[in-house]
Amino acid sequence: MKTAAAAAALLLLVTSCSSEPDLPHRELPPVGAVFDYQIGGAYQPDVPVKIVVRDRSKTPDGRRYNICYLNALQTQPEGMEGGLNWWRDNHADLLVKKKNGEPAIDDEWNEGILDISSDDKRARILEIQKKWIKGCKQSLFKGVEPDNLDSYTRSDGAFDLNATKEFMKGFVRYAHEQGLAVAQKNTAELGTAGKREIGFDFAITEECQVNDECGRYAEAFGDNFIQIEYTDDAFQKACADRGGRVSVIRRDRNVVPYGHGDYVYEVCPPRV
């Protein structure tokens, strides 16, 4: 039997939880639906495609569930607000610097790394990105994919995974306030904390089959994750393991648009 004190404490807990402001409805992507990853350039998807990811600068496909890609922890492509030179000119102190004072660079993609090492810097970077997140909503995207959650591994010790968690809590909270679902991009080392602590709604993974990480996303999100593989062997194994339950595709590594000579796109065959 509950004591009066315990009952009062329970009532206080319920009251404090229910007093939080209601968030707008957000729609999650359909689980296991056919998916296309178009961050390298937009094109007309195949008829069966139900989910499309495009860069925030592109127009979403009005007949499908659209996810807005933006680079949360590194610089955007040059020519856009948020490119490396834009940060240098406007917010140079928010870039991770090398010992010689030059910005640290992710050499694979030639992107600068944003410095989220302090509360002040995290708040200032998020304030800049709020405009981009809101732009995703105004363009009628339903979800957002913040990329490079693993930038701490390239920051030369400037910040760690805990700083990433703190930054993304604010990012996810603001996106939810706009009615957008938010994907955890890669970063299997978050475990269940991505959903439980940060608030991610689903996940988008690259090469979880190759890296033997798919089970960690399943533990956090069930079947509500999207799996991208870049080699045929991994793709075939992924289809055998979870095709039809989870959205699984094969793409070329540069995710070039349809018509490009390097274009690759495959979906798992229907299960019989």
Alpha carbon dihedral 251, 256, 261, 262, in 10-degree steps, equals -40
Write down the CATH number for the domain with range 33-77+119-267: 3.20.20.70
Task: List the structure tokens of 147.
Answer: 């990329």
pLDDT of residue 194: 98
pLDDT at 79: 86
Query: What pTM did the predictor assign?
Result: 0.91
Asked whether the beta carbons of 105 and 154 are under 8 A apart, the reply is: no
Q: Tens digit of pLDDT per residue, the chain (272 long)?
A: 334 444 433 333 333 332 346 899 999 999 999 999 999 999 999 999 999 999 999 999 999 999 999 999 999 988 889 999 999 999 999 999 999 999 999 999 999 999 999 999 999 999 999 999 999 999 999 999 999 999 999 999 999 999 999 999 999 999 999 999 999 999 999 999 999 999 999 999 999 999 999 999 999 999 999 999 999 999 999 999 999 999 999 999 999 999 999 999 999 998 76
pLDDT of residue 272: 65
Give me 260's structure tokens: 């490009």
pLDDT, residue 77, reads 87
pLDDT of residue 21: 62
pLDDT for position 7? 41
How is residue 52 written in tokens?
A: 């499309």
Domain borders along the chain are 33-77+119-267
Q: What is the H or E stretch that residue 38 is in?
A: strand 35-38
Nearest to 94 by CA among 27, 32, 147, 167: 167
Q: What is the pLDDT of residue 131?
A: 97
**H-only helix segments in the chain:** 4-18, 84-90, 119-138, 161-177, 193, 214-221, 232-242
